[in-house]
Amino acid sequence: MSLASTAKSRVNRDGTRSAWSKALKCNWSYTQLRSSTMKKPSPASSQPARQRRASGASMPRATRRSRNRDASRRQLTAKQKRDLAALAALPDDQIDTSDIPELPPSAWKHAVRGRFYRPLKQAISLRLDADVVAWLKKPGKGYQTRANYLLRQQMLADLRRT
């Protein structure tokens, strides 16, 4: 039963509507009138936001990586440049390294060169035989990583031979 039909069915014995049904009818009609005539607020409330929405452009997201990249691109001040130039001009035997103790040879026992080296990846299109692709995909996800690993192993073996 809707609100309007509930309001219509509330009739007193003398045929007049009750105060409750009149109030309900009034509130219901106001709600209907308000919802049909009021404009919904736009998600872009400021002028620049409306312009971005109209043009389809979105605001660039600031990420930790982009902030770090921006910090590494900052220019050195004149004082920093002078200090670096003065250090570069000093011979190695005149640089004070007393606060940096030398590591004993045992500290270098398990050292690995290039442990944290991550080469840049380059997207390419490569045509391979169907059976080779099926063999690479057989173990599951990561077939491109496996192909890269196999090619790298072959490349390093060839570099050692020459």
Domain range annotation of the chain: 3-37, 125-162
Confidence of residue 117 (pLDDT cuts 50, 70, 90): confident
Mean pLDDT confidence for 101-125: 88
Confidence of residue 95 (pLDDT cuts 50, 70, 90): confident
User: Which residue, 140, 122, 138, is CA-closest to 130?
Assistant: 138
Mean pLDDT confidence for 61-76: 66
Confidence of residue 115 (pLDDT cuts 50, 70, 90): confident
Q: Is 124 exposed, middle or buried (0-12, 13-18, 19+ CB in 10 A)?
A: exposed
d(CA 38, CA 41) in angstroms, rounded, equals 9
pLDDT-above-90 percentage for the chain: 35
Residue pair 7/24 in contact (Cβ under 8 Å)? The answer is yes
Residue-averaged pLDDT of the chain: 76
Mean pLDDT confidence for 21-29: 53
Residue pair 17/10 in contact (Cβ under 8 Å)? The answer is yes
pTM (predicted TM-score):
0.34
**Residue 7, pLDDT score:** 46
Angle at alpha carbon of residue 65, lines to 62 and 70, rounded to 5°: 75
